[in-house]
Amino acid sequence: MKVNFSKRSNFVKASEIRELLKLTELPEVISFAGGLPAPELFPVQEMVEACETVLTESGMIALQYGTTEGYKPLRELTVEMMKKNGIHAAFTDVLITSGSQQGLDLTGKAFLDEGDLVFCESPTYLAAINAFQAYMPKFVEIPMDEDGMVMEELERLLMSGMRPKFIYTVPDFQNPSGRTMSLERRKRLMELADAYDIIIVEDNPYGELCFEGEKLPAIKHFDKDGRVIYLSTFSKTFSPGLRLGWVSAKEEILQKYVLFKQGTDLHTNLFAQMVLVAFVRSHDFQAHIRKIRDVYERRRNLMLQTIQEEFPKDIKVTNPQGGLFLWVELPEGLNSRELLVKCLKNNVAFVPGGSFFANGGRENTMRLNYSNMQEERIVDGIRRMAIVLKEEMGGHGAIEAAVTL
């Protein structure tokens, strides 16, 4: 028999890297590849109590069908979380999603027809590319520097007449680069979006995990017309396994998301929504987030320090002020996919950076995750990588590195 899939099915392919990275599940492999939170910080015992509270007090509600929009007290909690980022929303402006990944899928569904343009950072979040890809847009990559998306490049494209359905950005501690968009650029992005009447999709999963520097207001803080669609998640502050995220947007837009979500999965797990609320009601959520932040900051410091001590000198690495990831640029000509194969032989893994470019390329980059690895394994893993890098870069004229070796 012949199976006739939809046209969009040709755009989603199993990734060879994902297959390679399955090897990272072996216990002997030190993996900087995932984007996973540190599981030892999950509030397991507190969850036992929260589950019992919810089931005892309202089990018949928690296990029944819920509303598509989400559990009202959880929507109210997201309003509080957003307030800290300078966003003033009502709970009716919020849709609870099955992880913020679903917010990305619903964004594609609500906005993208085949051939539409999506502007995104270069590099950008891999799973956002995957989510949008299913709606067959064309991606236009906007270059970044240490202050995030370069506004002159964005303006140049807009002035040339290009009109995206939306601009997708992760302004805080971006995945994969760890970079943060500066305050000035946030304002400028808003001005350009206003001037050219463009929607912004602001994806902020990591904003709560700010180690240092001033916490910047969300882009949505500067939004007067309701053109910013704001996505966030509890995956990095509570638990990814529960799949709880949210979308906040003005009514006209949110209403479409709600209708599409109805057709997609009816509603998000209601028990999980209620358990999270029960946890927040009886514990200090901010203190819990600070605990996570402190651990990740220590791990970032250690990874960065070890890289500076061990890696050949002509390798560049970002210095993220929060979040989960470091971004590494190797000298031109090096291919991180090939490096990964060699690193796996040394029982250490990372994600080759090429996958984070919507239109491919830039194979001399890599993403390193520090949140999910105990301190001594961080040092060990970076040293293992350094050995491979030094071997490789011998032929790239890195005399200093060769000397170190």
| Interface with a copy of itself in residues 105-144 (CB under 8 A) | 105, 109-113, 116, 127, 130-131, 133-135
Between 77 and 244, CB nearer to a copy of itself? 244
Q: Which is nearer to a copy of itself, 41 or 402 (CB)?
A: 41
Instruction: Choose, by CB under 8 A, the member of 79, 270, 307, 378 that binds a copy of itself.
Output: 270
Among 16, 145, 146, 265, binds a copy of itself (CB under 8 A): 265
CA–CA distances in Å: residue 313 to residues 152, 308, 385, 386: 31, 8, 14, 11
CB of 101 to a copy of itself, least distance (A): 5
3-state SS class at 79: helix
If binding is defined by CB under 8 A, does position 247 make contact with a copy of itself? no
Of positions 61, 150, 302, 405, contacts a copy of itself by CB under 8 A: 61
If we measure between CA atoms, which residue out of 80, 107, 78 comes closest to residue 94?
A: 78
Which CB atom, from 158 or from 388, has the smaller least distance to a copy of itself?
158
User: Does residue 96 touch a copy of itself according to CB under 8 A?
Assistant: no
CA distance 164 to 158: 9
Binding a copy of itself (rule: CB under 8 A), the pick from 125, 139, 246, 271 is 271
Taking the complex as a whole, how short is the minimal distance between the CB of residue 120 and a copy of itself, in angstroms?
A: 15
**Closer residue to a copy of itself in complex, CB, 98/177:** 98
Which one-letter amino acid corresponds to residue 117? L
Question: Among the candidate windows 97-105, 146-154, 277-285, 357-365, which touches a copy of itself by CB under 8 A?
Answer: 97-105
For residue 259, how far is the Cα from the chain centroid? 25
Minimal distance in Å, beta carbon 266 to a copy of itself?
Answer: 5
Residue 211 CA, distance from chain mean position: 17
Does 397 participate in binding a copy of itself (rule CB under 8 A)? Answer: no
Question: Which residue in the block uniquely carries the two structure tokens 């002997």?
Answer: 28
Nearest distance, CB of residue 151 and a copy of itself, angstroms: 20
Per CB under 8 A, 64 contacts a copy of itself: yes
Residues 20-59 that bind a copy of itself (CB under 8 A): 34, 36-37, 39-40, 42, 44-45, 47-48, 51-52, 55-56, 59
In single-letter form, the type of residue at position 82 comes to M
Alpha carbon distance 137, 167 (integer Å):
12
Is residue 175 near a copy of itself by the rule CB under 8 A? no
Contact with a copy of itself (CB under 8 A) among 62, 81, 140, 149: 62
User: How deeply is 291 buried, as exposed, middle or buried, from its count of CB atoms within 10 A (0-12, 13-18, 19+)?
Assistant: middle
Beta bridge partners of 139: 118
> Which helix (H) or strand (E) is 121 found in, with range?
strand 117-122
Please spell the DSSP secondary structure of 317-378, one letter per residue: E---SBSSEEEEEPPTT--HHHHHHHHHHTTEE-EEGGGGSTT---TTEEEEE-TTS-HHHH
Binding to a copy of itself by residue 160, rule CB under 8 A?
Answer: no
Binding of a copy of itself by 263 (CB under 8 A): yes
Say whether the peptide bond before residue 176 is cis (omega within 30 degrees of 0): yes
Which residues, other chains included, contact 154 with Cβ-Cβ below 8 Å and sequence gap of 6+? 119, 142, 167, 189, 192
Selection from 397, 383, 398 nearest residue 343 by Cα: 383
Strand partners, 325: 369
Size of the site for a copy of itself (CB under 8 A): 81
- Under rule CB under 8 A, residue 17 binds a copy of itself: no
3-state SS assignment for residue 177? coil
| Closer by beta carbon to a copy of itself, 115 or else 213 | 115
Q: Does 162 bind a copy of itself (CB under 8 A)?
A: no
| Contact (Cβ atoms closer than 8 angstroms) between residue 336 and residue 398 | no
Interface with a copy of itself, residue 19, by CB under 8 A:
no
By beta-carbon proximity to a copy of itself, the closer residue of 137 and 312 is 137
To a copy of itself, the closest distance from the beta carbon of 345 in angstroms equals: 25
Residue ranges in 184-243 that form contacts with a copy of itself under rule CB under 8 A: 197, 199, 225-227, 235, 239-243
- Binding window for a copy of itself (CB under 8 A); candidates: 12-20, 143-151, 299-307, 310-318: 12-20
